[in-house]
Amino acid sequence: MTNMVTVMYGQTGESQAINSRGMRTMQARAFDARNAQYLLVKAPPASGKSRALMFIALDKLENQGARKVIVAVPERSIGASFRSTRLSDQGFFRDWVVDERWNLCNAGGNAGKVQAFQDFMASEDEALVCTHATLRFAYERMGAAAFETSLVAIDEFHHASADADSRLGEVVRGLMENGKPHIVAMTGSYFRGDALPVLRGEDEEKFTRVTYTYYEQLNGYRDLRSLGIGYHFYRGHYGDAIGEILDPSKKTIVHIPAVQSAASSGDKYSEVDRILDHLGDFVSKDEDSGIQTVRGKDGRLLKVADLVTEDGRDKVVAALRNVTSRDDMDIIIALGMAKEGFDWIWCEHALTVGYRGSLTEIIQIIGRATRDAPDKHHAQFTNLIAEPDAASEAVAGAVNNMLKAIACSLLMEQVLAPNFNFRTRREDDDITGARQTADIIATGEADTIVIRGFLEPGSPRTQQIVESDLTDLTAKIMQDPAILRAAVSPEEFSPEVINQILIPRVIEREYPDLTTEQIEEVRQHVVANSAFRANAIEVVPPDQNPPDADGNPQPDVRFIRMAGSFINIDDLDVDLIDSINPFQRAYEILSKSVTADVLKRIHEAITATRIAMTEEEAVMLWPRIKAFTQERTREPSLTSPNPMEKRMAEALAFIREAARRKKAQTAAENA
């Protein structure tokens, strides 16, 4: 399978190692911030957020005066992650205990659960697990004052938002306005995939943030060596193409498209049956667990979990909670489940059908396959999506969703790479007056690159953004529609336009409190970090420096290799960084992975959406377009430096789009 992004990992084992208190790396980092009243933990799936919360919660009960701990999860299946756990066996001072009465993530209506919630608050017990919905309903009935001696922990915190109509966000704001409850917010994707921030800026300022990156997590695995991210295109119905992608020998979660989506047939049950038919012949169904057995085409018996069919689904969910070995399960077919918080460490392949408009959803789905497990060396995410049809009215929507898919791959390229730290290089040494040596300093934890003219953070606010928010801010920048258009149209948008105009606009929108100088400080960090990652920086030691033009050895200086060129670090400056397109490498990867014809159609469709042209002008230009094509034996180019040729190309795109609309309208009228 051709991947747009393939990331290799070091297999250091560090992220899985535990300390004397039984904590892995991320958990220890979060526990160090346990005294914060408002704590935001941003860490990828499988990094151990659930147990980190247990450590923090028990400390708040034991040492910080909390009487109650309430853990809220987005869906019932995730509640199992917070069941009673023996922590003292590995050195912690007490165990995490949740009485079965207070695990409200079982079947039943919300009305009874809210009463149970109230009963818990009046009891002597300390820990309760419920859904986000139950927490919202209980808060509406009881008010913020009832939580004043409690720790409220919200898993998958991105479900909240700063929107005034967000009910979960309103709970968070109400608790913070009260000022007495403690809050621990946890998420693997601190962005929502829409235009709304998770928290208002003034509220987010109150949180102490702990960040643990994808790269730290995956690079520290023992067995998992690589992650592939790819997109596979189909024509017709996805059921005809899924056989090319779904390998029964790989432990796989298949997410079929939402019923209302264009990729769906509208009958989710027949789609499940079609996938089962591809896998092999039905053998039996266990009445107790609901797990089906299918005899594969190679004769192997496959265990398949159907999470799409409502009848008996609770039994299947319960059975999945008891999966303890690699042989217990082979294929899971799901629709809206098995995403956030779902833990099946042996999953090797997350196969998602249909365009996914939510970046958060994509990252959560990828996280299902990125658990470390014995003898699991590669994880794969594949998005099986319909190839845009240039003759279809749906092309605009298809292109829009394609861009979102591209944004996801860009994001993962960024998130799955270590950030660089940057500092400015002064022209003269303070004492000797000699020029300072510019170098790359490898500390073992981060790489520091010295850049002339670089603006270091000049305030605690920009320092905080650079240290804590750089990855999230980069993700938001890469989702911005204007930047996406520029990323797939490098011939039309110079790097300077992207770096100095488009990116600052996003920063200003995300941080309206920043001054112009502060925006520039943040911009330089975003651009430099993206440019260095995108251009595959390579440090060249002094003894490997290329000779000068006369063949003589170079002096003892360091070089870097960017975009195939050697650059003396002593000459590295902000102007050079701004001349590099940080998205170019991602574009090149996509160009190699997606056919030129598909990219051309995407480019034309994007152009058609922003052309300012009348039908009269297009008709007037049509004779010139025909003459140009006949004379040059090619069509006019949208990227031509000649304004007239470019305008003719725009007119041609306009005419084709009009023809597509007319054809679709005629087809609809004749249907």
Same domain, 88 and 198: yes
Query: Whose structure tokens read 């042209």?
Result: 613
151 located within any domain: yes
Same domain? 239 vs 277: yes
pLDDT at 288 over 80: yes
Taking Cα atoms as reference points, which of 597, 478, 471, 385 lies closest to residue 209?
Answer: 471
Is 616 in the same domain as 665? Answer: yes
Per the domain annotation, does 1 fall within a domain?
A: no
Q: What is the pLDDT of residues 474-511, one digit of tens each?
A: 777 876 777 776 766 666 677 778 888 889 999 998 88
Poorest-pLDDT segment among 86-95, 203-212, 340-349, 556-565: 556-565
- Please say if the pLDDT value at position 268 is more than 50: yes
Q: What are the angstrom distances between the C-alpha of 114 and each of 108, 128, 130, 172, 184?
A: 11, 12, 10, 18, 21
pLDDT of residue 440: 42
pLDDT score, position 486: 72
Reported as a single tens digit per residue, the pLDDT across 439-459 is 444 344 445 666 777 777 888
Residue 390's pLDDT is 46
328: in domain: yes
Region of poorest pLDDT, from 143-157, 291-305, 406-420, 558-572? 406-420
Instruction: Note whether residue 134 is domain-resident.
Output: yes
Instruction: Give 334-393 as a 3 state SS string.
Output: ECCCCCCCCCCCCCCEEEEECCCCCHHHHHHHHHCCCCCCCCCCEEEEEEEEECCCCCCC
Q: Domain total for the chain? A: 4
Helix axes 503-510, 470-479, angle to 10 degrees: 120
Q: What is the pTM of this model?
A: 0.60
CA dist 370 and 416 (Å) reads 12
Q: Is the pLDDT of residue 122 over 90?
A: yes
* Contacts of residue 124, Cβ cutoff 8 Å, sequence gap at least 6: none
Q: How many whole angstroms separate alpha carbon 30 and alpha carbon 41?
A: 7
Better pLDDT: 60 or 395 = 60
Instruction: Please check whether residues 365 and 505 belong to one and the same domain.
Output: no
Residue 522 to residue 514: CA distance in whole angstroms: 10
421-432 burial string, b = 16+ CB within 10 Å, else e? bbeebeeeeeee
Which tokens belong to 17? 């190692």
CA end-to-end distance (rounded Å), the chain: 39
pLDDT tens per residue, range 136-169: 999 999 999 999 999 999 988 766 544 444 578 7
Question: Cα–Cα distance between 377 and 241 in angstroms, integer?
Answer: 26
Q: Pick the closest to residue 247 from 111, 349, 360, 123 (CA basis).
A: 349
Q: Is residue 170 part of a domain?
A: yes
Are 358 and 628 in contact by the 8 Å Cβ rule? The answer is no
Are 186 and 239 within one domain? no
Task: Find out whether 428 and 435 touch, Cβ atoms under 8 Å.
Answer: yes
Residues 307 and 450 in one domain: no
382, 460: one domain: no
Q: Looking at mean pLDDT, say which of 12-21, 61-70, 430-439 comes out highest.
A: 61-70
What is d(CA 544, CA 556) in angstroms, rounded to the nearest whole number?
10
**Residues 425 and 345 reside in one and the same domain:** no
| Interacting residues of 319 by C-beta distance below 8 A, sequence separation 6+ | 289, 290, 291, 305
Backbone conformation region of residue 200, classed left if phi is above 0, alpha if psi is from -120 to 50, else beta: beta
* Whether pLDDT at 241 is above 60: yes
Last residue of a domain, one of 187, 213, 239: 213
H or E segment to which residue 183 belongs? strand 182-187
The domain that holds 369 is classified in CATH as: 3.40.50.300
533-579 pLDDT, tens digit per residue, is: 655 445 555 455 555 555 665 544 445 555 445 555 555 677 767 77
Residue 425 half-sphere exposure, CB side, CA atoms within 13 Å? Answer: 19
Bridge pairing between strands 5-8 and 226-234: antiparallel
DSSP helix/strand/coil, 515? coil
Residues 72-95: tens digit of each pLDDT: 998 887 888 899 999 999 999 999
Let me know if residue 616 belongs to a domain. Answer: yes
Residue 535, in any domain of the structure: yes
Distances (CA, A) of 491 to 32, 197, 241: 48, 32, 34
Same domain, 207 and 227: no
Q: Could you tell me if 251 and 328 lie in one domain?
A: yes
Residue 250 has pLDDT above 80, yes or no: yes
Dihedral sign for Cα atoms in the order 361, 362, 363, 367: positive
Residues 560 and 654 in one domain: no
* pLDDT higher than 60, residue 628: yes
- How many other C-beta atoms lie within 10 A of the C-beta of residue 420? 19
Q: What's the CA gap between 292 and 277, in Å, rounded?
A: 13
Nearest to residue 198, comparing CAs of 170, 258, 158?
158
| Sequence-distant (≥ 6) Cβ neighbours of residue 460 within 8 angstroms | none
Indicate if 620 and 578 belong to the same structural domain: no
CA distance readout (Å), 257 to 128, 266, 315: 34, 9, 23
Helix (H, G, I), strand (E, B) or coil at 124: coil
pLDDT value for 341:
63
Range of the domain at 646: 611-669
In a domain, 563, yes or no: yes
